[in-house]
């Protein structure tokens, strides 16, 4: 209850502070540039100035927070990448040389590329298929709600759920993990799934696919409903099959939305951290870049330089995709 009370008070004070700021700043602006009881030319000039200044009153706090929480950390990380473990000794490009010679980094990079190929593709594919199928059944909204539900679960919470699914008991004990229980039921041998080299990465990816399929489904379902009925009816009259309508009529018309969903999930995958930390902590060949950065910074005494270099690599991978995503979304909006 104590945490709930703190959260409630924080939210209340935050909302009141925002309301007070916007009310007070607007009142101050109107008092400096009054638009009443003044000559017509003065009123016109003041209104013009107020209209130019007012948007910045709303944008100002957000821009300051962006500079403080985004721009400053990037600059500081770039500086720290040239320093040693404690962040005090200048080592030049030593951290960058270590980066490309480190087997652990290459493993993390390879695993991240594997996540990039599998998770966005499967999440988008399943989301598109489910969105198409649920629009054709009467209980489709119920199915969508159930599939979207994992989005409300934190990555740590989802990892704990799947940890029970992959759970392994040795010494002949009864298997409480769902997957091993099924394997034993059908006469197989239980496995330590998250310790199997290479394949354990896919078992971790399933968790993120399970979470993100609901996101892809909701966005793509809205895009499918925006397809004009005339194009579907024309295809039916021309004798097109269901698959032809889907792949040649529907998918091309929502291709921009598919690309946005895919790249959005891709950005999330590049920053994946919680699932790996909770499930394996990067052991058994499952290390990824974000978890490696965390390990170098907070474990084993900490190394500011090496963790900063890894952070810059993640940023270098994320930014181009994010820029492309924004441009593609803007182009799609302009096309409409």
Is 81 within 8 Å of 94 (Cβ atoms)?
no
Nearest to residue 204, comparing CAs of 139, 293, 112, 125? Answer: 112
Provide the pLDDT confidence category of residue 209 given band limits of 50, 70 and 90: very high
Buried b (16+ CB within 10 A) or exposed e, 224-259: beeeeeeeeeebeeeeeeeeebbeebbbeebebbbb
Over residues 13-31, the pLDDT tens digits come to: 888 988 888 888 888 888 8
Asked if 56 and 62 touch (Cβ cutoff 8 Å), the reply is no
Instruction: For residue 200, give the nearest of 162, 231, 173, 230 by alpha carbon.
Output: 162
Question: If pLDDT is split at 50, 70 and 90, which confidence band does 122 have?
Answer: very high
DSSP code of residue 283: T
pLDDT at 1 over 70: no
What's the confidence (pLDDT) of residue 152? 83
Instruction: Note the pLDDT of residue 289.
Output: 85
Which value, in Å, is the radius of gyration of the alpha carbons in the chain? 26
Q: State which of 169-173, 253-257, 328-332 shows the largest mean pLDDT.
A: 253-257
Q: Which of 1-15, 191-205, 319-333 has the lowest mean pLDDT?
A: 319-333
pTM of the entire structure?
0.77
Rounded to an integer, the average pLDDT of 281-298 is 84
Lowest mean pLDDT among 123-127, 144-148, 172-176: 172-176
* Stretch 235-244: mean pLDDT: 76
The per-residue pLDDT for 334 is 64
CA distance 119 to 183: 25
Please report the pLDDT score of residue 332 as a whole number: 65
DSSP 92: T
Q: Is the pLDDT of residue 329 over 80?
A: no
């Amino acid at each position: 209850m104590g945490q709930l009370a703190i959260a409630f008070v924080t939210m209340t004070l935050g909302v009141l502070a925002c309301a007070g700021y916007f009310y007070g700043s607007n009142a101050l602006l109107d008092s400096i540039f009054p638009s009443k009881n003044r000559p017509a030319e003065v009123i016109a000039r003041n209104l013009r100035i107020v209209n130019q200044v007012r948007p910045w009153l709303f944008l100002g706090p957000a821009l300051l927070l962006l500079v403080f929480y985004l721009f400053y950390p990037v600059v500081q990380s770039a500086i720290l990448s040239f320093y040693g473990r404690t962040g005090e000794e200048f080592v030049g490009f030593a951290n960058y040389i270590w980066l490309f010679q480190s087997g652990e980094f290459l493993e993390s990079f390879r695993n991240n590329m594997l996540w990039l190929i599998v998770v966005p593709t499967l999440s988008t594919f399943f989301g598109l298929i489910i969105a198409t199928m649920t629009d054709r059944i009467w209980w489709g909204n119920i199915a969508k709600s159930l599939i979207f539900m994992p989005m409300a679960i934190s990555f740590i919470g989802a990892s704990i759920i799947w940890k029970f699914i992959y759970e392994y008991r040795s010494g002949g004990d009864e298997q409480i993990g769902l997957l091993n229980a099924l394997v034993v039921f059908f006469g197989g041998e239980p496995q330590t799934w998250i310790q199997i080299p290479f394949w354990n990465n896919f078992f971790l990816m399933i968790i993120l696919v399970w979470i993100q399929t609901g996101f892809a489904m909701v966005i793509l379902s809205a895009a499918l409903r925006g397809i004009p009925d005339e194009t579907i009816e024309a295809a039916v009259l021309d004798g097109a099959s269901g698959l032809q309508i889907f792949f040649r009529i529907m998918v091309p018309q929502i291709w921009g939305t598919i690309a946005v969903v895919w790249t959005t999930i891709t950005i999330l995958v590049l920053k994946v951290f919680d699932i790996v930390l909770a499930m394996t902590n990067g052991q058994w060949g499952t290390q990824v870049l974000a978890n490696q950065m965390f390990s170098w910074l907070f474990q084993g005494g900490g190394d500011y330089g090496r963790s900063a270099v890894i952070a810059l690599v993640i940023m270098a991978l994320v930014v181009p995709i994010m820029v492309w995503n924004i441009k593609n979304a803007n182009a799609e909006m302009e096309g409409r």
